[in-house]
């Protein structure tokens, strides 16, 4: 009988000092494991060869879909995800080929055809900016394909993505627990699927607590910090009655929103509290430091490679949708609202 050389969860537990349950939860991207713990477990697991190389997969095509760059350009979020892909590929002896697809390019459809007709290797498709109709061209891919940071409702693609709905719900629950009942929503004008899901979570949380949504507190702004700043300034020029808190689609937008509020004489968090999403590096140095939702970006990259290897070695692997759990990070941009009870 052959014995596996793959290190056990118990061995990883011994070397990291974390319990076997925590190690297992981290490796399977379940909730309840914080950023530092997860990264340490993945590091040790990789060094031990836990993520064993594929028998048949030799290379990965990392395909970055760009619709307009409104989300993926200039953001530190996606380089961290790519770093996770690179680390996992290197640990497994896989070559990584980078392909940038621009939706507006005249030969876009031809480029996609070339990618999906190549049966060598596997494809990780960064789908952050993809909308529902964009997936149709990728249906007949001749090699394993995984959507990263995106998903398709109509077609059976495998995917690794953020648990957007629950994460947004938890953020709004937090604001309600802190005594806020007037909670607005700052939404990015480019309605990527992740933003749509976060809006769903925001709305669900209000319904659960019997709080009526005020459309005057739903503000649409650009998706870059500068355009979000301009959009928020225009909103503030109407001299609206502000809510006591805003949930914001992501951190880059939140930075622009806070700048506009400050310029118009509003104090964060004394006049209005702010919660972002992503936990970008700038959150700790913004003024005030931004309360936000941490996404295990590198872990998402690792998991996409791991799942791709599984698909390549076992063609009978079922369709999966792995939702990466997040961690709420409390900093300085939220204070208690008027309904806080002791």
Residue 63 has pLDDT above 50, yes or no: yes
pLDDT score at 290: 98
Q: Does residue 94 sit within a domain? A: yes
Assess whether 121 and 195 both reside in one domain.
no
CATH number of the CATH domain containing 219: 3.40.50.2300
Assess whether 262 and 200 both reside in one domain.
yes
Q: Does residue 87 sit within a domain? A: yes
How many residues are recorded in the chain? 342
Assess whether 195 and 138 both reside in one domain.
no
* pTM across the whole model: 0.83
Q: Does residue 50 sit within a domain? A: no
Residue 2 has pLDDT above 50, yes or no: no
* Arithmetic mean of pLDDT, 308-332: 88
Assess whether 246 and 157 both reside in one domain.
no
Assess whether 270 and 314 both reside in one domain.
no
Q: Does residue 235 sit within a domain? A: yes
Assess whether 168 and 153 both reside in one domain.
no
Number of domains present in the structure of the chain: 2
Q: Does residue 43 sit within a domain? A: no
Assess whether 287 and 175 both reside in one domain.
yes
Maximum alpha-carbon separation in the chain? 75
pLDDT score at 38: 77
Q: Does residue 2 sit within a domain? A: no
Closest to 241 (Cα-Cα) out of 208, 211, 209, 219: 219
Average pLDDT, the chain: 90
Domain of residue 253, residue span: 164-294
Assess whether 158 and 169 both reside in one domain.
no
Each residue of 18-54: pLDDT tens digit?
A: 887 788 777 765 656 776 787 788 778 767 766 555 4
Locate tokens 């980078």: which residue?
98
Assess whether 201 and 125 both reside in one domain.
no
Q: Does residue 115 sit within a domain? A: yes
* Residue 3 confidence class, pLDDT cut points 50, 70, 90: very low
Each residue of 164-223: pLDDT tens digit?
A: 999 999 999 999 999 999 999 999 999 999 999 999 999 999 999 999 999 999 999 999
Each residue of 259-290: pLDDT tens digit?
A: 999 999 999 999 999 999 999 999 999 999 99
Strand, helix or coil at 22? helix
Whether the CB-CB separation of 278 and 250 falls below 8 Å is answered with yes
Assess whether 207 and 196 both reside in one domain.
yes
Contacts of 330 (CB under 8 A, 6+ apart): 174, 291
pLDDT score at 50: 67
């Amino acid at each position: 009988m052959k014995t596996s050389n793959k290190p056990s969860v118990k061995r990883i537990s011994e070397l990291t000092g974390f319990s076997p349950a925590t190690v297992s939860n981290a490796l399977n991207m379940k909730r309840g494991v914080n950023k530092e713990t997860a990264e340490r477990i993945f590091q040790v697991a990789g060094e031990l060869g836990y993520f064993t190389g594929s028998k048949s997969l030799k290379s990965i095509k990392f395909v970055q879909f760009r619709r307009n760059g409104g989300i993926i350009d200039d953001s530190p979020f996606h380089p961290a995800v790519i770093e996770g892909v690179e680390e996992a590929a290197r640990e497994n002896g896989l070559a990584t080929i980078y392909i940038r697809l621009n939706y507006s390019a005249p030969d876009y459809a031809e480029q996609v055809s070339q990618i999906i007709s190549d049966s060598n290797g596997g494809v990780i498709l960064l789908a952050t900016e993809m909308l529902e109709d964009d997936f149709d061209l990728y249906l007949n891919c001749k090699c394993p394909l995984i959507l990263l940071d995106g998903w398709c409702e109509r077609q059976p693609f495998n995917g690794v993505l953020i648990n957007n709905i629950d994460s947004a719900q938890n953020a709004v629950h937090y604001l309600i627990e802190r005594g806020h009942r007037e909670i607005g929503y700052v939404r990015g004008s480019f309605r990527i699927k992740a933003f749509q899901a976060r809006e769903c979570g925001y709305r669900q949380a209000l319904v659960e607590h019997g709080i009526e949504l005020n459309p005057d507190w739903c503000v649409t702004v650009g998706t870059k910090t500068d355009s979000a700043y301009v959009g928020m300034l225009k909103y503030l020029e109407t001299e609206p009655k502000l809510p006591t808190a805003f949930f914001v689609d992501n951190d880059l937008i939140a930075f622009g929103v806070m700048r506009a509020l400050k310029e118009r004489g509003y104090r964060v968090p004394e006049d209005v509290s702010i919660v972002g999403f992503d936990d970008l590096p700038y959150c700790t140095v913004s003024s005030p430091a931004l309360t936000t939702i941490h996404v295990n970006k590198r872990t998402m990259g690792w998991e996409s490679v791991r799942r791709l290897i599984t698909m390549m070695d076992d063609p009978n692997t079922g369709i999966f949708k792995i939702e990466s759990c997040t961690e709420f990070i409390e900093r300085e941009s939220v204070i208690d609202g008027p309904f806080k009870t002791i």
